[in-house]
């Protein structure tokens, strides 16, 4: 049985957004934060950001590989038994943001259960072309295995489902309202192992733009220079695009090892093969 048709998916989303955002905001209240914590159990909520957008790469870091980790997402898609592209991004459509036609990719057998009004099954070459389109649009890929997706799409095969969501600023159900997070949600959103965001103090002017735009409050200004808390940073790379002084760059260790870490994380609770 197929999942919900597109109109019902969008209706579900419009009803879910206020509730999810409220739950995240409650996490900022000390005596109430245990309530949303229950709904963000890491077994049913896993997110990993992959900065596929065009980024400056620090060439002085040993073992730096390709400028775009988009290949890592492509390798993940190659492992999937089935791939579906959604016709539009439900989040950006809801918020009326640009690039609405760059929809999520659904990997795994659960893609066959998504209603055909929501998207289409594609091959790996089409998937890689879609990835490039998302990268060129300046979006971040979020590899997501989250309980809200099967509920919103009316699909029961959660263990066979992995979403690759292409997210922008202030238009994502996953990443919005994360300045303050409950413990489970913070643990669920893991940084890509082997990826580093680096600030060049010689170029940084301490303008605070990156700190203001960081959606998890991982950047602070100390002694007139930006500093990244590596324990808080999710590695999305958005700050690189916001820096007017080109003071922030990306380094990524051996791409194969980075992929292996990501695939192992995905495989803990998802079967996309």
Alpha helices in 137-271 (DSSP H): 148-153, 183-188, 209-213, 238-242, 255-267
Q: Give the three-class secondary structure for 120.
A: strand
How confident is the model at residue 58, as a pLDDT? Answer: 54
What is d(CA 177, CA 21) in angstroms, rounded to the nearest whole number?
Answer: 7
Which residue, among 258, 205, 263, has the nearest Cα to 235 in the 3D structure? 258
Nearest to 213 by CA among 191, 240, 174, 253: 240
pLDDT at 59: 45
Please calculate the CA angle 200-172-218 and round it to the nearest 5 degrees.
30
The pLDDT, as a whole number, for residue 88 is 94
The predicted structure's pLDDT at residue 68: 56
pLDDT at 61: 41
How many other β-carbons are positioned within 10 Å of the β-carbon of residue 30?
A: 7
- From CA 131, how far away is CA 166, in angstroms rounded? 9
DSSP string, 83-99: EEEESS-HHHHHHT-S-
CA distances from 219 to 98, 114, 224, 232, 245 (A): 27, 39, 12, 9, 16
pLDDT at position 65 is 41
Q: Can you read off the two tokens belonging to residue 250?
A: 């990306």
Give 228's strand partners.
219
What local confidence, expressed as pLDDT, does residue 149 receive?
92
Q: Rounded to an integer, what distance in angstroms lies between the CA atom of residue 130 and that of residue 54?
A: 15
Q: What Rg do the C-alpha atoms of the chain give, in angstroms?
A: 18
Which pair of tokens denotes residue 6? 């597109």
* Nearest partner of 115 among 15, 7, 17, 13, judged by Cα: 7
pLDDT < 50: residue spans in the chain: 59-67
Task: Give the span between the Cα atoms of 127 and 242, in whole angstroms.
Answer: 28
**Model's pTM, two decimal places?**
0.88
Q: Which residues contact 137 (CB under 8 A, 6 or more apart)?
A: 98, 99, 102, 166
Helix H or strand E segment including 20: helix 6-26
Q: What's the confidence (pLDDT) of residue 54?
A: 60
Matching residue, tokens 């492992």: 79
Measured in whole angstroms, how far is the alpha carbon of residue 244 from the centre of its chain? 23
Q: What integer pLDDT is reported at residue 1 of this predicted model? A: 59
């Amino acid at each position: 049985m197929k999942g919900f048709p597109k109109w019902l998916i969008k209706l579900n989303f419009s009803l879910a957004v206020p509730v999810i955002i409220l739950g995240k905001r409650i996490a900022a209240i000390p005596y109430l934060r245990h309530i949303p914590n229950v709904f963000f159990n890491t077994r049913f909520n896993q997110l990993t950001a992959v900065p596929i957008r065009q980024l400056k790469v620090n060439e002085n870091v040993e073992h730096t590989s390709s400028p775009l980790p988009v290949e890592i997402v492509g390798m993940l898609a190659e492992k999937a038994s089935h791939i579906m592209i959604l016709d539009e991004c439900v989040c950006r459509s809801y918020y009326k943001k640009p690039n609405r036609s760059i929809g999520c990719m659904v990997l795994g057998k659960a893609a066959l259960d998504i209603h055909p009004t929501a998207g289409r099954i594609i091959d790996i070459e089409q998937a890689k072309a879609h990835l490039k389109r998302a990268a060129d649009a300046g979006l971040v890929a979020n590899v997501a295995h989250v309980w809200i997706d099967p509920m919103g799409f009316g699909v029961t095969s959660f263990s066979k489902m992995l979403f690759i969501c292409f997210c922008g600023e202030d238009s994502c159900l996953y990443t919005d309202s994360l300045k303050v997070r409950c413990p489970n949600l913070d643990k669920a959103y893991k940084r890509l192992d082997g990826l580093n965001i680096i600030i060049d103090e010689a170029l940084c002017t301490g303008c605070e733009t990156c700190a203001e735009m960081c959606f998890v409050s991982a950047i602070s200004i100390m002694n007139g220079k930006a500093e990244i808390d590596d324990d808080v940073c999710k590695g999305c790379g958005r700050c690189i695009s916001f820096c007017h002084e080109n003071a922030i760059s990306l380094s990524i260790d051996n791409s194969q090892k980075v992929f292996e870490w990501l695939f192992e994380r995905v495989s803990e609770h998802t079967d996309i093969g």
